[in-house]
Amino acid sequence: MNQKNWRLVYTKNFPKLKSMCKVLEERLHREFPRVLKHLKKCGLEVEGTFSAHFMTLYVYLTPIEIATRLFELFILDGENALIGVLLRMIELKQKKILKKDDFEL
């Protein structure tokens, strides 16, 4: 945790969390521009929408069996694994996301 500065996710002003959200937003812009545009049109920002996923390592957002596997990926590959999983989830649910309005998202 100290080697990768993971503790900076939780320190004042959340510098690591903000940088991870910036990386996620850049990847969304490249890989799923329609999803990013739709989120912004609905008044949702990447940082506010996805930071809980990073801060909790998905523990509160997925069944424990899946959260355990995601935690193992995180231990092996760091935050890149978390970003990759989130992008894969977006890819799988892209059509549903694009059909939702701001109240349903």
How confident is the model at residue 3, as a pLDDT?
54
Cβ atoms of 20 and 82 within 8 Å: the answer is yes
Cβ atoms of 51 and 17 within 8 Å: the answer is yes
- Tell me how far apart the 2 most distant CA atoms of the chain are, in Å: 41
How confident is the model at residue 102, as a pLDDT?
74
* Alpha-carbon torsion, ordered 36, 52, 19, 94, to 10 deg: -20
How confident is the model at residue 6, as a pLDDT?
78
Domain count, the chain: 1
Looking at the domain assignment, is residue 1 inside a domain?
no
Mean pLDDT by 10 residues, the chain (105 residues): 70 90 97 96 93 88 90 90 94 94 74
Looking at the domain assignment, is residue 105 inside a domain?
no
How confident is the model at residue 51, as a pLDDT?
92
Instruction: For residue 38, give its domain range.
Output: 6-99
| pTM for the full predicted model | 0.86
